[in-house]
Amino acid sequence: MTDVFMLLGAPNKTAVQSKMENVILFETELANITTPQEDRRDERKMYHKMTLANLIRDYPRSTLCAHALPRILNDYMLWHLVGDFASLLSKPFREAKQKFHEILTGTKGNEDAWYTCISDTDSVLGFAVGALFVEETFKGGSKEKAKEMIENVRTAFTDNLPNLDWMDDATRAAALDKANAVTDMIGYPNYILDHAKLDKKYEDLKINKSDYFNNNLAYTQYIFKKSYEKLRKTPLNEWAMSPPTVNAYYTPSKNTIVFPAGILQAPFYDQNFPKSLNYGAMGVVMGHELTHGFDDQGREYDKYGNMKSWWGADAVKKFKQKSQCMIDQYNNFELHGEHERGKQTLGENIADNGGLKSAYNVWCWNSKPESDHMQILTDPHSPPKFRVIGTLSNSEDFNKEFKCKSSAKMNPKKKCEIW
């Protein structure tokens, strides 16, 4: 932090250092009064709709800001502004920022030119790059094939609902209704193949071939403007990920699952792969996203995406008991002597377990201790190793297929299962 300000021409290193120490102390205080990560999954604790007038009345100035010196608040804001833009500057700035990153995560981050060029272009012009990408890679009925797999995974999920002895019939009917109402977005948004529409999307963004820093400023302004344009308008089914992205997501407020073209490729999916491989990889991802609609967060939303309870009281009680089994199980997993956080990762673990089960029924990670620690602190997903051990040790099908002994570690007596 000090290095960045010295590069900007600060006259006195000791003075900068003490300012930055105060910034860290201030940030630590902020972190301590922030709702802990594991409680942030509780929508009812996080969502407080209020008018602007009530916000100003109830929170005129937060206690912390009221007692922090204006000087510290000023340094805090300055660091965030400068720190965010330092990695877009010349090499000495980038190296200073890299040092900071390395202390936090244990890795230097990828500074290779090809990586920076590709990831920056994808994050700024992802739908234009995506149009080229899908023209090249997403053909031969890929969308239809993905759709068919989703339907098979959905059927496996709904077929299992009658087997859930912890659920009353009314809640079960509502769960079936919600599962059938889940909409999907596959591959890419159609407008990207229409050049006029694509040009229209980016018409306010001015990119200059030789001005990397100002291009980034222009993009920041562009994205702010686009966000403000959405204010008080009906939300559209926009894509939160670009077509080449190797990832997928579920949006509870729309009850929609989304699979960009990037993940509908090998090693996740290939039309020449045997079904076992396609369902073992892509099918599990599809089941994972579908099950998010029924995890501790997703279950709070109805089939229309409104935060509204559709559960019987007894089913909620039993869901919470079953969830506690999974919280306790994942709390017991240890990485570098640190326990993973079962409550924080509950939604992802429910989705991993439900996803694996649904995908199986259709068909009868270079880490450093610092980044692992960071993941345990902040990531809603369990560390990759436990995403495998957790789901498979809960799977009766896995144990049966691999003939695990009753004493085997992957076949614990106490298994957790929700969906």
Residues interacting with Zn ion, by CB under 5 A? 348, 351
The H-assigned helical ranges of 283-393 are: 284-292, 313-331, 346-362, 369-378, 384-393
Closest separation in Å from C-beta 266 to Zn ion: 21
Q: What does the alpha-carbon distance between residue 281 and residue 267 come to, in Å, rounded to a whole number? A: 8
Nearer to Zn ion, 251 or 411 (CB): 251
Closest separation in Å from C-beta 183 to Zn ion: 17
Strand ranges of the sheet holding 249-251, from the earlier edge strand across to the other edge? 183-187, 256-260, 249-251
The two three-digit tokens of residue 177, written as one number: 């209704």
Residues 6+ apart with CB under 8 A from 336: 369, 372, 373
Total Cβ atoms within 10 A of residue 334: 11
Overall residue count recorded for the chain in this entry: 419
Nearer to Zn ion, 75 or 348 (CB): 348
Q: What does the alpha-carbon distance between residue 366 and residue 97 come to, in Å, rounded to a whole number? A: 21
The H-assigned helical ranges of 59-211 are: 63-67, 70-86, 91-105, 113-137, 142-160, 169-181, 195-201
User: Annotated catalytic, 144?
Assistant: no
Nearer to Zn ion, 340 or 348 (CB): 348
Closest separation in Å from C-beta 227 to Zn ion: 24
Closest separation in Å from C-beta 238 to Zn ion: 19
Closest separation in Å from C-beta 315 to Zn ion: 23
Q: What does the alpha-carbon distance between residue 196 and residue 3 come to, in Å, rounded to a whole number? A: 46
Cβ pair 104, 370 in contact under 8 A: yes
Nearer to Zn ion, 19 or 41 (CB): 41
Closest separation in Å from C-beta 351 to Zn ion: 5
Nearer to Zn ion, 129 or 182 (CB): 182
Nearer to Zn ion, 75 or 295 (CB): 295
User: Annotated catalytic, 352?
Assistant: yes
Given 3, 302, 352, 372, which residue is catalytic? Answer: 352
Task: Report the candidate in 335, 344, 123, 91 with the shortest Cα–Cα distance to residue 219.
Answer: 123
Given 289, 295, 300, 348, which residue is catalytic? Answer: 289
Residues annotated as part of the active site: 289, 352
